[in-house]
C-alpha cells in the first residue's frame, strides 16, 4: 500500500449500531442505520466511524460488520455522497485478526481503519510491545490505519506521546483518536515537532474538549453527542456557533467558549451512559431508531430508569437543542 493522506479535518460521528428484534434475537437494522448515516452527512458531518466502541463492534460477527459497512456505503452513494469518509473500527487483540477485519472493511467500502490498542495484557505490556503491535498491523494492512487510544475500554493500556510520535512516522499510520481527558497529551502529540501533521492527524474523541483540542493543533473530534446534535458540533468546529452568542459575548473567543460550555454540559449524558445515552438522544431528538433494541448485555431499550432518568437530562440538553435548531434554520 502506498503512502496515503489522513482523514480530512472536521467533526466525525462514531455512529451507534442499530438493531431490531427478530425470532432469533436481534439483527442489524439496516434501514435505521442508513437513515441516520445520510442525515449526518446532510447535516455537515465530515465522516463516520463505524464499528467503534459506540458501534458495539464487540457484539457483531464478522459477517455483520461487513454487511453494515456495505449498507452504509450504498446508502451514502445513493444519496449523492460519493467517496464520503468512512473509518472502520477494530477491537481485536491479535495482529492477524485485526488484519482480517481491515481487509474486510476495505472490501466493504471503508477508507481507513481505527485500531484499538490491545489491552488484555496491559499491566505487563511495555511501550515497545505496543509499537511492534501497531507496526505489525500497519505493515500488512489493506487500509491506512489510525491509533485508537481509549483506556476506558482497553484495560487502561497506556500509549505515551513518545510512542505516538514513533508510530506517527510510519507512513501507513495516518492519525489517532484520543479518548481520554489528558489535554496535555493531546498537546504533546498535536504540536509535536517530530510529527509531520500533514500526514498524521490528531483527533480528540471527546466533544467536551473540542475547542481546547483545536487550540493545540488537533484536527477535529470524533464525538458521540454529534450523533444527535451534528450541526452544533460542526458549528463549534468551524465557528458558526459564535454567531449565536456574538451579540452578548465580549469577543469571538468568548462566544466560542459559550458554545463549548453548552456542548460540555450536554456531553455529560454521553459520559454517564455511553452508547445508551447516545442512542436515546438520537431517538428523542431526531426520531430515528425509535423502535430499535440493544444487544445484550446492554439494556433492551432506552436508559435504565426510563422516562424519569431522561427527564433529568432535559435542562442539560436544552441549550444545544436551541443551537441545533438555529443552525438548522
47-74, pLDDT tens digit by residue? Answer: 999 999 999 999 999 999 999 999 999 9
CA dihedral 119, 123, 124, 128 (to 10 degrees): 60
106, 172, 177, 199: the active-site residue: 177
Catalytic residue among 84, 148, 199, 279: 148
State the pLDDT at residue 160. Answer: 96
Residue 255 has pLDDT above 90, yes or no: no
Predicted local confidence at residue 245, as pLDDT = 73
Q: Residues 177, 203: contact at Cβ < 8 Å?
A: yes
Which domains does the chain carry?
Answer: 10-328 (3.20.20.70)
Residues 6+ apart with CB under 8 A from 313: 268, 269, 277
User: How large is the angle between the packed helices 306-328 and 230-238, nearest 10 degrees?
Assistant: 50
Whether 177 is a known active-site residue: answer: yes
Band the pLDDT of 1: cuts 50, 70, 90. Answer: very low
- Predicted confidence at residue 246, as pLDDT, reads 66
Average pLDDT along the chain: 93
Whether residue 87 is annotated as binding a ligand: the answer is: no
pLDDT score recorded for residue 100: 97
Element (H, E) at 105: helix 95-108
- Please give the Cα distance from 252 to 119 (Å, whole number): 42
pLDDT higher than 80, residue 102: yes
Look at 83-87, 175-179, 215-219, 322-326 and tell me which has the smallest mean pLDDT.
Answer: 322-326
**If we measure between CA atoms, which residue out of 50, 46, 6, 52 comes closest to residue 144?**
6
Q: If you average pLDDT over residues 138-147, what whole number do you get?
A: 97
pLDDT single digits (tens) 307-325: 999 999 988 899 999 999 9
> Distance between alpha carbon 221 and the CA centroid of its chain, in Å?
7
Q: What is the pLDDT of residue 3?
A: 56
**Binding residue per annotation — 222?**
yes
Confidence at residue 300, expressed as pLDDT on a 0 to 100 scale: 65
Spatial distance between the Cα atoms of 25 and 14, rounded to a whole number of angstroms:
24
* 257 vs 204: which has the higher pLDDT: 204
Mean pLDDT of 176-203: 96
Backbone angles phi, psi at 258, to 5 degrees: -60, -40
Which DSSP string corresponds to 246-296? TTTSSSHHHHHHHHHHHHHHHHHHHHHHHHHHHHHHIIIII--STT-B--T
Q: Are strands 19-22 and 25-28 parallel, antiparallel or unpaired?
A: antiparallel
What local confidence, expressed as pLDDT, does residue 253 receive? 84
CA–CA distance, 141 with 102 (Å, rounded to integer): 6
User: What's the average model confidence in pLDDT over 175-195?
Assistant: 96
pTM of the model: 0.95
Q: Bigger pLDDT: 91 or 18?
A: 18
162 is catalytic: no
Residue 13, C-beta contacts closer than 8 angstroms, at least 6 positions apart: 40, 45, 48, 49, 222, 223, 224, 226, 227, 230
Helical (H) or strand (E) element with 301: none
Amino acid at each position: 500500500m502506498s503512502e496515503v493522506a489522513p482523514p480530512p479535518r472536521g467533526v466525525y460521528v462514531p455512529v451507534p449500531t442499530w438493531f431490531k428484534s427478530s425470532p432469533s434475537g436481534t439483527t442489524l437494522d439496516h434501514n435505521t442505520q442508513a437513515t441516520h448515516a445520510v442525515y449526518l452527512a446532510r447535516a455537515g458531518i465530515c465522516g463516520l466511524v463505524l464499528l467503534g466502541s459506540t458501534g458495539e463492534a464487540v457484539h457483531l460477527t464478522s459477517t455483520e460488520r461487513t454487511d453494515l459497512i456495505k449498507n452504509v456505503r450504498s446508502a451514502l452513494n445513493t444519496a449523492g455522497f460519493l467517496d464520503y469518509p468512512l473509518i472502520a473500527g477494530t477491537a481485536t487483540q491479535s495482529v492477524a485478526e485485526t488484519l482480517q477485519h481491515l481487509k474486510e472493511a476495505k472490501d466493504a467500502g471503508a477508507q481507513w481503519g481505527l485500531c484499538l490498542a490491545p489491552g488484555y495484557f496491559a499491566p505487563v505490556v511495555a511501550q515497545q510491545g505496543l509499537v511492534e503491535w501497531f507496526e505489525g498491523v500497519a505493515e500488512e494492512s489493506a487500509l491506512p490505519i489510525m491509533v485508537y487510544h481509549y483506556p476506558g475500554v482497553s484495560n487502561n493500556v497506556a500509549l505515551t506521546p513518545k510512542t505516538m510520535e514513533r508510530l506517527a512516522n510510519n507512513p501507513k499510520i495516518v492519525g489517532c483518536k484520543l479518548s481520554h481527558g489528558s489535554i496535555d497529551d493531546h498537546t504533546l502529540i498535536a504540536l509535536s515537532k517530530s510529527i509531520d501533521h500533514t500526514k498524521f492527524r490528531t483527533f480528540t474523541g471527546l466533544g467536551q474538549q473540542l475547542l481546547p483540542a483545536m487550540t493545540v493543533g488537533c484536527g477535529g473530534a470524533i464525538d458521540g453527542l454529534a450523533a444527535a446534535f451534528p450541526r452544533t458540533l460542526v458549528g463549534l468546529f468551524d465557528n458558526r456557533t459564535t454567531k449565536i452568542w456574538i451579540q452578548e459575548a465580549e469577543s469571538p473567543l468568548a462566544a466560542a467558549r459559550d458554545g463549548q460550555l453548552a456542548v460540555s454540559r450536554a456531553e455529560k449524558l454521553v459520559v454517564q451512559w455511553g452508547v445508551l445515552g447516545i442512542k436515546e438522544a438520537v431517538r428523542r431528538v431526531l426520531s430515528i431508531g425509535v423502535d430499535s433494541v440493544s444487544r445484550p448485555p446492554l439494556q433492551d431499550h432506552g436508559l435504565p430508569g426510563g422516562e424519569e432518568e431522561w427527564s433529568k437530562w432535559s435542562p442539560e440538553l436544552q441549550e444545544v437543542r436551541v443551537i441545533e435548531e438555529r443552525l438548522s434554520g
